[in-house]
């Protein structure tokens, strides 16, 4: 019996390793996924300059507290504070434009009267809390924005304490002296070193953080987890059809059905377009269902409703372009694949890798810079950014045309290579 088991094992190993491409994909897929996701998630663990969140800081404060706050932010760790751009001090308008251009996602604006406002709120019960603005791209996830806001809130209070405590203690000691009392010198020093307070006399915080977005981003509401996740994971599902399309073509080749199609009086490009369009229709139905789930079903679970933005017609254009790109990838896989098993492994490898570097699983702006640069080759990155333009940034069709053009260009290139490389026999 043992000899028979060994013989069967050897036979099946030969069958498995006969498909070299499938075996390579089998081992390469988890290895590539480990490499990509380890780099993409590098910012969530450990330390290092490549792992910091880039935050623009515009310090307009005429007093000393703004300078103290900027220094504390730089020393805090986890945040890469950028106060200049092209070797010039940042202005608010420039910081907002960098966010609009998607070169950065977050900016902190310290107003001109920040120090003066702190003086008033600390010693005048009728004064309002000093304010700092946290300007962010509406598509920035709360998992990233939240820690930045938390750090800013804590450090701004700390900076206020540093500058206000000596003044408050001096005023108290002066009042004691003027009323005939006296405080020993060692006690005075201890008060100045150790005194602290966290709020004004009427209980309000010294500093409040106001979240806002660039003036020319027409956000209709604060983004939520549904708006961020529904389009991303819809794209993840859409691109899985590339493997289904490729495998269906290879199966038709194996059964001889494809040979009959090629013999029909039509061009080869027509044959491939005929294979592509039904799968595009399936993709569009798939996207529609997933967006309807976000609109109707997710609220039943206690989550917010998926809002479609001011120009939902833009979602249709993006979906068509993304579907064409996904299915063009499927045709390309069918052109270069040698077996259904190989195509299955290769398509899964490509879909997972492109989704990872494209920002579906981890926001691209928290990735190391080389990963952000690498992400431009992923159609997921362009499609996801276009969806976010409509859903979160309040844009219309005109603003998403560049991303759609890139998606169509990718589709045309992949379709052209598929026609060129396709094995018709």
pLDDT at position 371 is 84
pLDDT at position 342 is 80
pLDDT at position 175 is 46
| DSSP code per residue over 315-339 | HHHHHHHHHHHHHHHHHHHHHH-SS
pLDDT at position 206 is 80
CATH architecture group of domain 52-212: 3-Layer(aba) Sandwich (3.40)
Q: Each residue's pLDDT tens digit in the chain (425 positions)?
A: 677 677 777 766 776 667 666 566 566 656 665 666 566 555 554 444 446 788 999 999 988 889 999 999 999 877 899 999 989 999 999 999 999 888 899 999 999 999 888 878 766 766 788 899 999 988 787 778 888 998 898 888 888 777 666 554 454 445 445 455 554 555 445 444 544 444 444 456 788 999 988 887 766 555 577 887 899 889 988 998 888 888 888 888 887 777 776 677 777 778 888 888 899 999 999 999 999 999 999 899 998 888 888 899 999 999 999 999 999 999 999 888 877 778 888 888 888 889 989 988 877 877 877 888 899 999 999 999 999 899 888 889 999 999 999 999 999 999 999 988 887 76
State how beta strands 88-89 and 79-82 pair. unpaired
Any bridge partners for residue 345, and if so which?
A: none
166 contacts 174 by C-beta, under 8 angstroms: no
CATH 3.40.1710 residue ranges of the chain are 52-212
Q: Which residues, in sequence order, are CB contacts of 238 under 8 Å at separation 6+? A: 283, 286, 287, 322, 323, 326
State how beta strands 207-212 and 130-136 pair. parallel
Q: Quote the CA–CA distance of 406 and 379 in Å, as a whole number.
A: 8
127 — alpha (psi -120 to 50), left (phi > 0) or beta? beta
Q: Quote the CA–CA distance of 38 and 255 in Å, as a whole number.
A: 42
- Give the length of the chain: 425
Could you count the other beta carbons within 10 Å of the beta carbon of residue 176? 13
Per DSSP, helices labelled H in 209-339 are 225-238, 241-255, 257-263, 268-292, 313-336
pTM score of the predicted model: 0.72
Could you count the other beta carbons within 10 Å of the beta carbon of residue 63? 17
- Closest among 85, 42, 148 to 371, alpha carbons compared: 42
């Amino acid at each position: 019996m043992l000899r028979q088991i060994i013989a069967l094992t050897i036979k099946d190993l030969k069958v498995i390793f006969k498909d070299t491409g499938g075996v390579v994909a089998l081992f390469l897929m988890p290895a590539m996924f480990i490499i990509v996701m380890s780099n993409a998630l590098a910012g969530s663990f450990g330390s290092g300059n490549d792992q910091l969140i880039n935050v623009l800081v515009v310090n307009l404060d005429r007093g000393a507290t703004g300078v103290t706050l900027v220094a504390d932010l730089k020393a805090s760790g986890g945040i890469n504070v950028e106060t200049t751009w092209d070797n010039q001090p940042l202005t608010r308008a420039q910081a907002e434009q960098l966010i609009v251009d998607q070169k950065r996602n977050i900016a902190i604006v310290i107003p001109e009267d920040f120090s003066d406002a702190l003086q008033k709120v600390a010693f005048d019960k009728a004064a309002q809390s000093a304010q700092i603005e946290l300007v962010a791209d509406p598509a920035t996830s709360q998992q990233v924005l939240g820690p930045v806001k938390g750090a800013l809130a804590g450090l701004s209070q700390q900076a206020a304490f540093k500058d206000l405590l000596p003044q408050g203690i001096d005023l108290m000691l002066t009042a004691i002296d003027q009323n005939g009392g006296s405080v020993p010198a060692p006690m005075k020093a201890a008060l100045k070193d150790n005194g602290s307070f966290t709020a004004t006399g009427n209980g309000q915080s010294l500093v409040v953080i106001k979240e806002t977005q660039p003036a020319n981003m027409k956000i209709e509401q604060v983004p939520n987890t549904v708006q961020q996740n529904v389009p991303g994971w819809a794209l993840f599902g859409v691109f899985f059809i590339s493997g289904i399309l490729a495998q269906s073509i290879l199966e038709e080749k194996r059964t001889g059905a494809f040979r009959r199609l090629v013999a029909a009086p039509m061009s080869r490009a027509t044959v491939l377009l005929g294979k592509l369009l039904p799968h595009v229709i399936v993709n569009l139905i798939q996207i529609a269902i997933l967006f309807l789930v976000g609109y109707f079903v997710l609220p039943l679970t206690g989550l917010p409703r998926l809002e479609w933005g001011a120009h939902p017609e833009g979602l249709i254009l993006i979906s068509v372009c993304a579907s064409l790109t996904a299915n063009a990838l499927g045709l390309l896989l069918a052109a270069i694949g040698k077996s259904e098993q190989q195509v299955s492994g290769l398509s899964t490898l490509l879909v997972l890798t492109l989704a990872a570097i494209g920002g579906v699983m981890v926001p691209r702006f928290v990735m190391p810079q080389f990963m952000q640069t690498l992400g431009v080759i992923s159609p997921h990155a362009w499609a996801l950014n276009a969806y976010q333009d409509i859903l979160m940034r309040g844009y219309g069709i005109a603003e998403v045309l560049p991303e759609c053009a890139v998606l169509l260009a990718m589709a045309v290139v992949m379709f052209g290579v598929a026609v060129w490389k396709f094995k018709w026999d």
